[in-house]
Amino acid sequence: MKNIIITIMISLMLAACGGSSSRVGVVTNPDSGGEVDDRATIRVLSNRPDLVSAGDVLVEVVLASADVADELELLLNNVDVTSVLQATSDNPLRLLGVVTGLSVGENTLSANIGNSLTVVNHPSGGPVFTGPHIQPWECQDGATDENCNQPVEYQWLYKSSNPLLSGLQPYDLENPPTDVADTTTDGGETLPFIVRQEIGYQARDQYTIFTLHKVGDDWTPVQPQSQWNRRLLVTHGGNCRGDHDTSSARTDDYSGTIPGTPLTEQSYITALSMGWSVLSTAQLNLGHNCNLSYQAESLMMAKERFIEQYGELRYTVGTGCSGGAITQNMIANAYPGLYQGLLTTCTYPDVMSTATQFADYHMLLRYFGITADNPVAPTSRDGTFYAIPQQNEIYGHVNGIVNATVADTALFGEAVDPASACGGVSAEERFDQDTNPGGVRCDVISFMENMVGERERFPAADPLSDRWSQIEKDLGYGFAGFPLGNEGVQYGLIPLQTGTITPSQFIALNTNIGGLDPSLNVTAGRMKADYPALPNAYRTGILNTVVNMDTVPIINMTGPDPGAAHDAVHGYWVRWRLEREFGHRDNFVHWGGLTVLIGDLNYMNQSLVAMASWLDAIEADTSDTPLAQKIIVNKPADVQDQCNGVPGEMCPEELMTVFGTPRTQAGADKYGDQVQCQLKPFSRADNYGLGNTIWQEADWLQLEQTFATGVCDWSKRPLEWQRTVTWLNYQDDKGDVITGGEQMTPADFPAGWASPAFAKTWEPTWQQP
């Protein structure tokens, strides 16, 4: 204890003109015979005590007074680890240290003059809460075990003063370059723009951390280097895939500041220049890992690693385009607290809203006979003629055929086809419905089976229907369930009502569009959503209900729709759902501009500064006001909607070219979450345009047969809609999967994740009604 006493005395002298200590609550040490002893209080900072990983943890011990320091012993499983503790400079009674050597499973941290904690440690390869590992899995070259662990490596980079050299360049410690630029942080410190990159492996995949670094100086979690502002930016990747191998964490930000764009710096480099740190993991790249639970676990583990190596955080901000926006939105809703702010571009709210639109595209393209070889087929597979403008109206997009084709070929087909390729799985191992029906299914639905579950053969909602395909019957098990359906959808209803398509075209389309089977084959009958996948889509958050997103500030950037499967309307879905659920969207700021997808090339860097000012204001509010209200009352006056740089107004939807979808053209509401509608009986009295006066009896009979089970009642919530349940755990005590998840026990907000102002409403968000 001698070193701690000396450190405390020095700290007391340094803090003589200031400093403070909080009142320590009364706790009981189990080893004290039941007597109350509150002279020291232990708390885990880097994560929840039950979710710790990799064998180490950042611990705080707060002393009631300096004169008890010589009595303190910190024990890990009855082994003295007091020597790891060091007093902080701002509070000499507050001791921090990284405790290492935790065993997998339960560990006991105890103070002889205070409380004890049970810390549950998980392997660095995981899982922590995601359930059994996805198999098969191929590790990277250099992995030391089957969980893809590998020693941490460090690289050095720098920003050049040469304006012709963009990005970060390799920095040679032995032969330092002479063109290193200087940077001045937002704290006013000027230093050489040199960056250390940490590269390591957790959860069977790679993570990377960038820090603006002073070469040769120490950096500990108790005493970080002075240029760090304790802010963390998390970058993401786009698309949606389910790879079965280790990949590289993205080193570019993929957030709207496109690499190589002249005179435009990538936002993660801008963040580093201001004193932020930057973190990325391979599993936060949706194009590599399209499983929400794995993404959240990866981010949680990486944040824990960061805090244990670099120090406590003030707040964490996400940034990303396309799949990067999906990841942020889904995690913020399903695992609140991992981010304190979101910067989204090319936005979608989630995976399943998008999949529903793209599934409709997939079926419509095949009905219209459009293929790569025949991109503008005017005659459908049943021989009905549809002019190109008519097809576009049915799609709901002025350039619908192109938009649907891009979505289908570049996104939906490869992501949802179980026979598509994926990393870590050879062609011989992959599923083929004819030659290898029991092979590995590379579709993203199978990749997220822990969340959606296996298809029920005879679901309670339809107990007389055998839902399994012949392949499933032969194999003796069901595939992962598809959480969407098109039962009751009246495709082209709005074009029919406006006279754009004829009654005969409407009848033919709806009679013959069919559905999809689990292997993505078009079927004659409509597609019914699988159980338990449909309710689990809402429950788990892969269909984003946004009901937990009022506690995170969002700046969303939007540009005109390019007709490339990144519809401008997808960002509006987030806004509209917030308005529907909360009656406002005051935590959501919308920046529009004329650059397609992203609004403006400078928006991402500008939004980073704007978000920091917003979060700084929230951080300074130490009242007991609920966090959702703090976000609103502390929003700076200059952080507001804008259009082309003009503040105060959103760009008109016409300027942003906000189009619809096949479902809105079928009469659906605007929110985009109707993955399967509730049904009502078909009625001839409904509005069918001229059909009500010119249709023949045979036409009505055909429609009544086509919609024998009913048509969509768009006035109601989607079928099986329910609130997203936060912080789901997908494994039981034996390590077996809990399909659809089970909510974790509420716990204190991890103190190292963010400043106290962001934790005021942490526990209530975990307790769903």
Give 113-128 as a DSSP string: TB-EEEEEEE-TT--S
Which residue matches tokens 């559905």?
Answer: 515
Determine the pLDDT at residue 26: 32
65-89 pLDDT per residue, tens: 999 999 999 999 999 999 999 999 8
Could you give the 3-state DSSP secondary structure of residue 742? strand
Task: Tell whether the model's pLDDT for residue 24 goes beyond 60.
Answer: no
3-state secondary structure labels for all residues of 211-237: EECCCCCCCCCCCCCCCCCCEEEEECE
Query: What is the CATH classification number for the domain harbouring 12?
Result: 2.60.40.10
- The answer to whether 279 touches 207, Cβ cutoff 8 Å, is yes
CA 663 to chain centre: 25
Locus of tokens 């700021």: 589
Q: What is the mean pLDDT of residues 42-62?
A: 97
| β-pair partners for 357 | none
**Average pLDDT of span 132-138:** 96
Average pLDDT of the residues in 533-550: 97
Q: What is the mean pLDDT of residues 35-46?
A: 88
Which of 67, 91, 122 delimits the end of a domain?
Answer: 122
Percent of the chain with pLDDT over 90: 81
Alpha carbon 624 to chain centroid, angstroms: 28
pLDDT digits (tens, 9 = 90+) for 666-719: 999 999 999 999 999 999 999 999 877 788 999 999 999 999 999 999 999 999
- Direct distance between the N- and C-terminal alpha carbons of the chain, in angstroms, rounded to an integer: 49
Neighbour-count burial of 67, counting CB atoms closer than 10 A to its CB (0-12 exposed, 13-18 middle, 19+ buried): exposed
Tell me the pLDDT tens digit for each residue of 448-461. Answer: 999 999 999 998 88
Task: Indicate whether 64 belongs to any domain.
Answer: yes
Which residues 6+ apart lie within 8 Å of 391 measured at CB? Answer: 364, 368, 400, 401
Q: How far apart are CA 327 and CA 350, in angstroms?
A: 7
- Beta carbons of 34 and 107 less than 8 angstroms apart: no
- For the chain, give the number of residues: 769
The Cα 590–Cα 728 span in angstroms is 30
Domain count, the chain: 2
Instruction: Tell me the three state secondary structure of residue 661.
Output: coil
Residue 129 domain flag: no
Domain residues for the domain of 506 are 353-539+663-712
- For the record, the structure tokens of 422 come out as 């994926």
In this model, does residue 10 exceed pLDDT 50? no
- pLDDT: which is higher, 432 or 748: 432
CA atoms within 13 A on the CB side of 166: 13
Mean pLDDT over each residue of the chain, to the nearest integer = 91
| pLDDT confidence bin for 261, thresholds 50/70/90 | low
Query: By the 8 A CB rule, do 688 and 495 touch?
Result: no
Q: How far apart (Å, rounded) are the C-alpha atoms in residues 48 and 42?
A: 13
- Choosing from 122, 137, 170, the residue where a domain stops is 122
Q: pLDDT per residue over 181-224, tens digit each?
A: 999 999 999 999 999 999 999 999 999 999 999 999 999 999 99
Count of beta carbons in the 10 Å neighbourhood of residue 128? 25
Is-contact 199 155, C-beta < 8 A?
A: yes
How far apart are the C-alpha atoms of 279 and 211, rounded to whole Å? Answer: 9
Taking only the tens place, the pLDDT of each residue in 336-383 is 999 999 999 999 999 999 999 999 999 999 999 877 666 666 678 889
Phi-psi region of 713 (alpha: psi -120 to 50; beta: other; left: phi over 0): beta
Per the domain annotation, does 734 fall within a domain? no
Q: What is the pLDDT of residue 379?
A: 78
- Average pLDDT, stretch 264-277? 92
- Residue 609 near residue 639, CB atoms below 8 Å: no
Residue 462's pLDDT is 83
3-state secondary structure 416-446: HCCCCCCCCCCCCCECECCCECCCECCCHHH
Give the number of other Cβ atoms within 10 Å of residue 405's Cβ: 21
**Rounded average pLDDT over 742-751:** 90
* pLDDT value at residue 387: 93
| Residue 18: predicted pLDDT | 37
| Tokens of residue 535, six digits | 């309710």
pLDDT at residue 20 is higher than 50: no
Integer Cα distance of 452 and 581 in angstroms: 24
pLDDT at position 246 over 60:
yes
In this structure, is residue 612 part of a structural domain? no
Please return the burial class of 399, using the count of CB atoms within 10 Å of its CB with bins 0-12, 13-18 and 19+: middle
Distance CA 232, CA 271 (A): 9
Q: What pLDDT, on the 0 to 100 scale, is given for residue 21?
A: 31
Q: Of the candidates 122, 145, 179, which is a domain's last residue? A: 122
pLDDT digits over 396-409, tens only?
999 999 999 998 88
What letters, b where the CB count within 10 A reaches 16 and e where it falls short, cover 281-301? bbbbbbbbbbbbbbbbbbbbb
- Lookup: tokens for 160: 């050049």
Residues 6+ positions from 6 with CB-CB distance below 8 Å: none
**pLDDT value, residue 727:** 95
With bands split at pLDDT 50, 70 and 90, how would you rate the model's confidence at 767? very low
Rounded mean pLDDT, 18-36? 41
Reported confidence tier of residue 260, pLDDT bands at 50, 70, 90: low
Q: Is-contact 667 494, C-beta < 8 A?
A: yes
Let me know the angle formed at the C-alpha of 705 by 702 and 710, rounded to the nearest 5 degrees. 125
Which range has the worst mean pLDDT, 8-22, 24-38, 159-173, 229-243?
8-22
| pLDDT at residue 515 is higher than 50 | yes
Average pLDDT over residues 249-269: 71
- In a domain? residue 432: yes
In this predicted structure, the answer to whether residue 658 has a pLDDT above a threshold of 60 is yes
The pLDDT score that the predictor gives to residue 377 is: 66
Lowest mean pLDDT among 164-178, 241-255, 353-367, 495-509: 241-255
Nearest 10 degrees: CA dihedral of 655, 661, 667, 671? -70
729/45 Cα distance (integer angstroms) = 21
Is 714 strand, coil or helix? coil
Residue 179 near residue 161 (C-beta atoms within 8 A)? yes
Characterize the bridge pairing of strands 105-111 and 116-122: antiparallel
